[in-house]
Structures are given as C-alpha cells and as structure tokens.
Amino acid sequence: MTTQTDITWIAADWGTTNLRVWALSDTGEILIHRGSDRGMGKLAPAEFEPALLDLIEDILPTRGEVPIMVCGMAGSRQGWAEAPYKSVPCPPPSIADATRVKTADPRLDVHILPGLKQLKPADVMRGEETQIAGFLADQPVFSGTLCLPGTHTKWVKLKSGVVERFRTCMTGETFALYRHRSVLRHGLSESEFDTGAFKNAVLCVLQDPKVFASELFGIRAASLVAGQTPTEATGRLSGLLIGAELASIRDEFDLADVAILGSSKIAGTYHAALECLGQDARLLDAESITLRGLTLAFSCYARETS
C-alpha cells in the first residue's frame, strides 16, 4: 500500500485539455497515476493550484515540500505562471530553465519547464520539448526528424541532441473544424475511417498539392451522388489534410528517418501516411517518453538541491 512517505516527487503533464500526474518513489517506481479533464483551457490562473490539489492532496505528506515537475500549457501566458521560452537552436530545456511557482500550500514545490520558440518562421511549443528531452535520453546523438502528432502536430529537426528547427501544423484542429462545423459533417462517420480511401487521398494530394481545395467539396458530392460511405468520406478527409501537411514539410524535413512520438490512433494515421511515401517511421510511446523527460528534470533538481 502506497503511503505519503513513499512518494519522493510528482510529475505533471498539463495540456490544454487534460492534466496527468504521476507520483514516484526515489527509485523511479510509479506509485500512483491519475488524470483529469481540468486542462489549461478550462482554468483561470488562480484555479491551477486547487485543480492540482484535487488530484494529489490525499497523497501529500503532512509536512515538508514535495517537488513537482510540470510541463505543458500550465506555463503559457494564460496558464498558472508563464515560463519563458528558450530559443532554438538549443538542447531541450531542463530544470535550470524552469519557473518556480509561488503556492499557497507549503507542501508544493512546483517547477514549470519552459517551451521552445522559433523566430523565423515564428513558431512555439510547450510540452513537446519535454518529450524531445525524454526521447534524447536514450538516443542522445540522434540526427533526424521527430513527428509529435496531435491537435497541433510538431515536426522537429534534431541534430546531435540539439533542436535545430521545428514547424507546427494545425491539421488535427482543422480536421475537427471540418468534421463538426462544415457541410462535410453530414457525410462523415463518428469515429472510423476507411484505410484505402485515406491512402488514396494522401497520394492524390502528395502528387499534386494544388488539388487540395477542389477535392474537399468532392467529399460531400461523392456522399450525395456516388455512393461514398461515411467511413470512406472520413478517410478521404483525413488523407487530404495529412497529405497536404506532408507536402508542405517534405522539402524541409528528412522523412527518411522519422520517429513518431505517439501510441494513439492519430499516431498510427501519420505512420500510414508516411508509408505512402515509402517511409517506415518508428512509433514510440509518447506518455512514457514524456515521463522520461520529466524524470530528467527531477534528476537535475535532486542533484542541485542535494
């Protein structure tokens, strides 16, 4: 049975939509893993500490501080406390770059890791930099491309442990807008999509990116008059969007050596899209890599405070 005395530190991944926490022992054993839907997007700055306490107060010691390493949108301008960005090219930031948050509860010793920024072209990330650090922990001299799929997918060029540049594509958000707010919504499935239709659409827009805009309404038309099923329509929409994304970044990033940090359905979708280019990307578990990055930050903290 886990007690407060077993817990050495707490890791937190605080995104726009969700909060995930892990309580760990001094040997790195995960003692408790919890989550909530109280992401940054639902909270005012004064609500972050109560939201965190809702998840962890029962496991905090009665006295003394518990180090809490936080990555993600809690460090945004609209978050708990703004953690200034580091500029690329640079290695992923760590505890030396973190922002310490003043808390009302004396048991909380909160450190928010900063994100990364790029000036030309302008771009930012928060949370993904910690995944990058976790990835590099096991592959410190990797030179190639990372794909971090999500609502806003990141493509990152790494060279020998340094983030050289990155680009963000709003494909996930764009898909959601078409799916729920456009005329296309009437012909789409709720969750599943046809793999064949997806790959055909990826290849279509990769071969000729100019067709993207005109192909979109074709999804609606094919559903009305050509017998296209909802799963085929969904596959076609997803394929057009991800195909357009690949067409936009393929000259900027090396797609011959790509590691995809994600085990979700969307990560598999990117893997399938890269297969259309003849590339066999690696799929890695994003959650464990995020925790690995937060563990690195805690290890630095422990050395500095010992």
- Rounded average pLDDT over 192-217: 96
* Rounded-to-integer distance, Cα 115 and Cα 203, Å: 34
For residue 304 the two structure tokens come to: 């500095």
Question: What is the distance between the alpha carbons of residues 152 and 172, in angstroms, rounded to a whole number?
Answer: 6
Domain boundaries, the chain: 4-126, 168-284
Torsion from C-alpha of 137, 140, 143, 148, nearest 10 degrees: 10
What is the bridge-based pairing of β-strands 162-169 and 144-148?
A: unpaired
Assign 5 a pLDDT band (cuts: 50, 70, 90): low
Yes or no: domain 168-284 corresponds to CATH 3.30.420.310? yes
Q: What tens digit of pLDDT does each residue of 66-125 get?
A: 999 999 999 999 999 999 999 999 999 999 999 999 999 999 999 999 999 999 999 999
Global confidence as pTM = 0.93
- 4-126 topology per CATH: Nucleotidyltransferase; domain 5 (3.30.420)
- Residue 18 Ramachandran class (φ > 0 left, ψ -120 to 50 alpha, else beta): beta
Per-residue pLDDT, 214: 92
Confidence of residue 265 (pLDDT cuts 50, 70, 90): confident
Band the pLDDT of 6: cuts 50, 70, 90.
Answer: confident
Angle, alpha carbons 90-27-291 (nearest 5°): 40
- Taking only the tens place, the pLDDT of each residue in 145-194 is 999 999 999 999 999 999 999 999 999 999 999 999 999 999 999 888 99
| Mean pLDDT rounded to a whole number for the chain | 95
- Predicted confidence at residue 62, as pLDDT, reads 81
Q: Residue 99 carries which DSSP code? A: E
**Same CATH fold, 168-284 and 4-126?**
yes
DSSP string covering 33-97, please? EEEES--GGG--GGGHHHHHHHHHGGGS-SSS-EEEEEEEGGGSTTSSS--PPEESSBPPP-GGG
Q: What is the pLDDT of residue 306?
A: 79
Element (H, E) at 219: helix 212-225
> Is 80 exceeded by the pLDDT of residue 135?
yes
State yes or no: pLDDT of 28 exceeds 70: yes
